[in-house]
Structure 1
Amino acid sequence: MKHFKTLKSFFMTFAMVAMLISCGDDADAPAPAEVSHKDIITNITSNIIVKAYSDLAREAENLLEKTKKFKEAPSQESLDDAKDAWVATRKPWEQAEGFLIGPVDTGSIDPAIDSWPVNVVDMDGLLADLTKPTITEQIVNQQIFEAKGFHLIEYLLWGLDGNREADSFTTRELEYLVAASENLKNKTTKLKVAWVADGGNYQANFLTAGPASSGKYKSEKSALEDLVSALIVIADEVGNGKIEVPLNGDPDTTTPAGPEQEESRFSHNSKLDFADNLISIQNVYHGTYLNHDGKGIADIVKDKDAALHTKFTAEIIAAINAIEAINGTGTFTDALANARPSIEAAQTAVRTVQATLESKIKPLISGL
């Protein structure tokens, strides 16, 4: 018994010493390094956001040139060229709506270039105001949001019924068209310059995100959270604004349903607009833009929850496909009267994307 007690005491002493050594090792061990997502933030900033804004500014400059040529020599060919330029300018803008953060928001560039429905009363008022003998860019810039920007230009190019002829333009309408195009070019150039390194360098807020940053984001997580929040905003706008209001109206503003509330109804570009908005979500999530393929938020989600990544990837694709399938090859305008179930199916798919962003993706990023 005496021998047993001695062994017991020995093992107890040994165990205590081992615990102390172990605790000492833990205390001396460095804390695990925080995983950096700088490569993801850099790719989204430099290769998606800045690139999309650069493409937008370039296409808007081309649109101005095409409207000038149409004004100088009106013909069906020059009108079609101006229409094609409008559609080409629209694409990078709609694919940039997944990141309506920074100067596009604080500088009121978004409403200045993309407000709808068009205020035809104010447009007609300017056209009839002969105290302004020439309609210039400076005059258009002073107009309310709904009397300038993409949709005013769209209305002038296509007309109310989408079939305007080249010989139907008055001299004042041609002046307004060119001045509005110049204003759009100036706004989009301003947006690009606000982001690039040799301009306002807003991109630096993202590129330097972290504790040592003197910019907006004191952590990479806060920058990523803002990017995901912007994806939620555009998903909500498409599902509960761009689709919902023309489909069912808006009781909060007593806005009635109908094609008058459709975003790009004169050009029948609405379905493409909505699909490009979802592609903007897809781009930021996957780190892609046109032919570029880099790192995106998907790389974080895939590492943390592979099943969620697979699910969300499929949801985005399903939403894009459902939008493109609205009314088959027909227009969104016609679908409002004749193919409502196809619109409702697309809306459900977009709302599913929004729900996953809100309930799964955003909390995962916030938990980093």
Structure 2
Amino acid sequence: MQSTGFTRNLFACAFASMALVSYAGAEQTQTTAVSTVSSSAVASTQVTPAAVVKHYADIAYANYSDGLTTAKALQKAVETFLQAPTEANLAKAKEAWIAARVPYQQTEVFRFGNAIVDDWEGQVNAWPLDEGLIDYVDASYEHELGNEGAKANIIANATLKIGNNSLDVSKLTPKLLADLNELGGSEANVASGYHAIEFLLWGQDLNGTNPGAGKRPATDYTAGKACTNGNCERRAAYLKAAAELLVNDLDEMVKQWSPTVANNYRQQLLNEKPEDGLRKMLFGMGSLALGELAGERIKVALEANSPEDEHDCFSDNTHYSHYYNGKGVKNIYFGEYKRVDGSVLSGPSLADLVKQKDANKAKAIASAFNNTEQALQAMVDSAKNGFAFDQLIAANNKKANQIPQNAIQALVAETAAIEMAAGLIGVSNLSPDTADHEFN
């Protein structure tokens, strides 16, 4: 996406208009055992930019490590399900997928500012996707115009005809799925990652803006005459390959942030000027909060009243994906990350640097983060009460629409706060990516 940025005046107006409220807290989507707190204690002396950037790298390593751990648990649940494709085992695989989203969505704050992450991310979390590329779809299926691969149905066909090219897809491997991403030049052709796996577990959500998620039967993976919708063995092979590729991809990113791997991205980042690291941190935070989360993930779906544009559209897990995106931004500002085992990694932070410059403004900036977390929590609470994101974006329901609208406004104000923080610590002209969205 193109980085265009907003004017400081617009951000300042948005920031000033938001009420400053305290953090209400949010529940994890999974139960974790509480372990000994892992903490990088902040010294009583002045916090330095170099220390903040190093701790940022430590959080990235911990966060991606948790992503890998939960992806491996998902892979194991998928393998158990494929060995015994019962409804109970399918439910466990779905639970593992939802648990895996908790750490991963928090890692997205490392995008934008770090090109190595943004270049890699498409294979892992690209969306929305034209699911007809992968498997059977309902007759009502609508796909991106001009996408030649939108109804290719890899699972039903050993050969694909795209334009003048014939592709052999008889053997479904992790490498093949990776190669099929953006087939024919269309970004809607997503063959791998969390959302491909999500579709293979849930199937299409045909409920529109009414209640309910996808309802793929476990028998879609049953061999022999009990197989529903055909090609059960190839569907199983596809799901297995997609889970394996996800684990491989996350393992690659863990190594890039590891403190024990030579000549990786972590070393490159820490060898740069600390001020360059701070800019990457702040730009990533602002771009995720504004252009990506407020714009692409909430505003687009809300204005179009389109569940096809919701992030986790097959599982109706979108409220948690949005919440944990916001959590990821807050993690980096405050230098604190709660791991999936319950331990907490904390250390020198942007918040510390800001507080050293102006304690009063530091309080106002902290309130903006808390305000955003509360607004995103409201979407989680709504879903728990039976009104999920795809219902909140339905047309002609101003009361429901106000919940995601409040989240957008809070994210705009938070981005203003991020720019204020940047200015205080000497990072000028931040210009977070707006993804070409305008916010009133």
**TM-score by structure 2 length?**
0.68
Structure 1 residue 134: Cα displacement = 3.6
The residue correspondences of 1:86-101 to structure 2 (distance < 5 A) are: 86-100=97-111, 101=114
**Structure 1's 287 and 186: CA in aligned 2 closer, same or farther, altered over 3 A?**
same
**Structure 1's 303 and 198: CA in aligned 2 closer, same or farther, altered over 3 A?**
closer
CA contact (8 A) 1:221 1:365 kept: no
Q: Distance in 2 between matches of 1:284 and 1:120?
A: 34
Q: Distance in 1 between matches of 2:427 and 2:373?
A: 29
Which of 161, 171, 179 matches 2:241?
A: 179
Q: CA RMSD in A?
A: 1.9
Amino acid at match of 1:248: E
Q: Distance in 2 between matches of 1:308 and 1:165?
A: 54
The residue correspondences of 1:310-325 to structure 2 (distance < 5 A) are: 310-325=363-378
SS for the counterpart of 1:96 is helix
Amino acid at match of 1:127: I
Structure 1 residue 57: Cα displacement = 1.4
Q: Distance in 2 between matches of 1:109 and 1:80?
A: 29
1:55 aligns with 2:103: no
SS for the counterpart of 1:243 is helix
CA contact (8 A) 1:315 1:349 kept: yes
Q: Deviations over 1:205-238 (max 9, x none)?
A: 343xxxxxxx4x2x21121111111101111210
SS for the counterpart of 2:55 is helix
CA contact (8 A) 1:102 1:202 kept: no
The residue correspondences of 1:208-247 to structure 2 (distance < 5 A) are: 215=271, 217=272, 219-236=273-290, 237-247=292-302
CA contact (8 A) 2:51 2:348 kept: yes
SS for the counterpart of 1:116 is coil
Q: Tell me what 1:352 maps to.
A: 413
Q: Distance in 2 between matches of 1:349 and 1:35?
A: 28
The residue correspondences of 1:291-330 to structure 2 (distance < 5 A) are: 291-326=344-379, 328=382, 329=385, 330=387
Which of 112, 116, 135 matches 1:103?
A: 116
1:366 aligns with 2:437: no
Q: Distance in 1 between matches of 2:256 and 2:378?
A: 37
SS for the counterpart of 2:67 is helix
Q: Tell me what 1:36 maps to.
A: 48
Q: Distance in 2 between matches of 1:147 and 1:308?
A: 46
Q: Distance in 1 between matches of 2:170 and 2:269?
A: 46
Amino acid at match of 1:350: L
Which of 331, 342, 363 matches 1:283?
A: 331
Structure 1 residue 154: Cα displacement = 0.5
Q: Deviations over 1:8-33 (max 9, x none)?
A: xxxxxxxxxxxxxxxxxxxxxxxxxx
Structure 1 residue 121: Cα displacement = 2.5
Larger radius of gyration: 1
Structure 1 residue 361: Cα displacement = 1.5
Q: Distance in 2 between matches of 1:176 and 1:44?
A: 36
CA contact (8 A) 1:287 1:296 kept: yes
1:82 aligns with 2:93: yes
The residue correspondences of 1:249-268 to structure 2 (distance < 5 A) are: 249=304, 257-268=305-316
Q: Tell me what 1:19 maps to.
A: none
Q: Distance in 2 between matches of 1:35 and 1:279?
A: 23
Q: Tell me what 2:139 maps to.
A: none
1:127 aligns with 2:121: no
Amino acid at match of 1:239: A
Q: Deviations over 1:31-69 (max 9, x none)?
A: xxx9833222222211x1111011111211221121111
**Structure 1's 319 and 193: CA in aligned 2 closer, same or farther, altered over 3 A?**
same
Higher relative contact order (CA 8 A, sep 6+): 2
Q: Tell me what 1:168 maps to.
A: 220
Q: Distance in 2 between matches of 1:296 and 1:314?
A: 16
Gaps of 5+ in 2: 1-45, 136-152, 160-168, 183-189, 206-213, 222-231, 339-343, 429-440
User: Structure 1 or 2: larger helix share?
Assistant: 1
SS for the counterpart of 2:215 is coil
Q: Distance in 2 between matches of 1:136 and 1:225?
A: 39
Gaps of 5+ in 1: 1-33, 208-214, 250-256
Q: Tell me what 1:151 maps to.
A: 195
**Structure 1's 129 and 311: CA in aligned 2 closer, same or farther, altered over 3 A?**
same
Q: Which runs of 4+ in 1 moved over 6 A?
A: none
Q: Distance in 2 between matches of 1:156 and 1:312?
A: 42
Q: Tell me what 1:201 maps to.
A: 264
Amino acid at match of 1:94: Q
Q: Tell me what 1:118 maps to.
A: 129
**Structure 1's 128 and 367: CA in aligned 2 closer, same or farther, altered over 3 A?**
closer
1:334 aligns with 2:391: yes
Q: Distance in 2 between matches of 1:56 and 1:282?
A: 18
Q: Tell me what 1:22 maps to.
A: none
Amino acid at match of 1:220: P
Q: Distance in 1 between matches of 2:106 and 2:427?
A: 28
Structure 1 residue 260: Cα displacement = 0.4
Q: Deviations over 1:312-339 (max 9, x none)?
A: 2111121121122137232101111141
Structure 1 residue 102: Cα displacement = 4.2
Q: Distance in 2 between matches of 1:320 and 1:163?
A: 31
Q: Distance in 2 between matches of 1:39 and 1:271?
A: 34
